[in-house]
Amino acid sequence: MATTFDVLFLGAGPGGYVGAIRAAQLGLTVGVVEKDKPGGVCVNIGCIPTKALLHSAEVVNLLRHAKDLGITTGEISTDYGVAMKRSRRVSEQNSKGVEFLFKKHKIELIKGTGKLLPGRKIAVTGGAELTATKAVVVATGSRPKDLPQLGLKLDRKTMISSDEALFLEAAPTSIAIVGAGAVGCEFADIFNAFGAQVTLLEVLPRILPVEDGEMSDVVAKAFRKRGITVHAGAQIQSAAVEKDGATIRFTVAGKPETLKVEKILIATGRAPNTEGIGLEAAGVKLTDRGFIQVDGALKTTAAGVYAIGDVAGPPLLAHKGSREGIVAAEAIAGQNPHPIDYTGVPGATYCHPEVASVGLTEEKCKEQQLEYAVGRFPFSANGRARTMGETDGLVKIIRGKKYGEILGAHVAGPQATELIHELVVARANEYTVEEIELAIHAHPTLSEAVAEAALDAMGRVIHI
């Protein structure tokens, strides 16, 4: 094994492995230190297995309404354990895919726990001391966090995080999910499909609080229709593990509630993995929120040390980390990469209905006192959505009044996480709403709803 490389990556998640591949493409010798499986949280205990389970949940819900499509089925039964094992196989395939890509690009994978040392070095537990002649890139990611002050302390059995939820052999009969961001809403969708009685608790006034309010309303309405109990504005008072489950106490609009459940899933956010990796000794400083301090080029306060992905701050999204990995690799190789526009990072929530967005919400536009017009088009008026029986939700485009720029775009409904990219590309290239409408959209497609929302933002919608 080599001990000297041009660049070393500490962590092989979506930021680290993508950055490593880009660095190798640019002719650099690359080493990646990873204590677990390549692919990081996203591939192994995050994005990929969760989406596999969500696909299973979607099929379950589709089969329950098969009769409406002219299909007769027998009694529908579910087995979360089988779906879980399938999700593990998918994750394993993706992880092995990363290893294959490392071999293809002659990237050396060093398995072990790494610790940053001064002078662009990494010490690997039980192994060698590695040196980078050009740079070290810290890509150690994040982990679920709990709220021990409220009794919400992970014990990995009754009070669980998304990590443990992905390995359950059976769905719980009842579950309280604390936190209704993307993770909370996705697991609410999954466990509801597999027969659990789900209660979703969010301290803020609405679920999916970072999304546009209208999108949150679409999901809350759909969840309640499917039997998920949704409490927004819930103030958690206490929670405790008991021999046969857990009890959580909270208030909603001042009214006290007590709920007994089999499990509590804590989905209240993630904390960066900065402890025990030698940052202080190497001269790497943290922000007040505990993330690694970086500049616009992703350089830390230590010479020759970069940080990317979750550990470098929000948004904590795999695709944001991957782009940072590419930018860091190109900068280290002496190129002049295009700076990252963090306002153009799309958000995506894969529950049913899906939610996706880019840019400002209408609430943010009001807060910033911008002059804007809103275009909306409901999927209930879209021909393709009707053929699919997927008519919940809408496309919403926020148009700057003076120049016609896309201030924000939001989709809640079928295939929202795919539809958003037309608007992401448009916004990245500074297309106006008028130019979106100039593109002829095939009929019948869900994408026509994007064109119609653009028309509505200009005051001339056709189909409503």
What is the Cα–Cα distance from 123 to 136, expressed in whole angstroms?
Answer: 12
Q: Are 33 and 11 within 8 A, CB to CB?
A: yes
Q: Are 76 and 60 within 8 A, CB to CB?
A: yes
What is the Cα–Cα distance from 260 to 351, expressed in whole angstroms?
Answer: 25
The CB density around residue 72, as the number of other CB atoms within 10 Å, is: 6
Residue 443 catalytic?
yes
Helix (H, G, I), strand (E, B) or coil at 307: strand
What is the Cα–Cα distance from 193 to 212, expressed in whole angstroms?
Answer: 26
- Token pair recorded at residue 386: 């009707």
- According to DSSP, the residues that pair with 131 across neighbouring strands are 4, 121
Which residues does 379 contact at the CB level (< 8 Å), separation at least 6? 385, 390, 391, 392, 393, 394, 395, 413, 414, 446, 449
Helix (H, G, I), strand (E, B) or coil at 91: helix
Long-range contacts of 247-254 (CB under 8 A, 24+ apart): 248/176, 248/178, 248/201, 250/201
Q: Are 261 and 246 within 8 A, CB to CB?
A: yes
What is the Cα–Cα distance from 361 to 357, expressed in whole angstroms?
Answer: 8
What is the Cα–Cα distance from 91 to 42, expressed in whole angstroms?
Answer: 9
Which residues does 320 contact at the CB level (< 8 Å), separation at least 6? 309, 340, 342, 345
65, 338, 421, 443: the catalytic one is 443
The residues that are catalytic are: 443
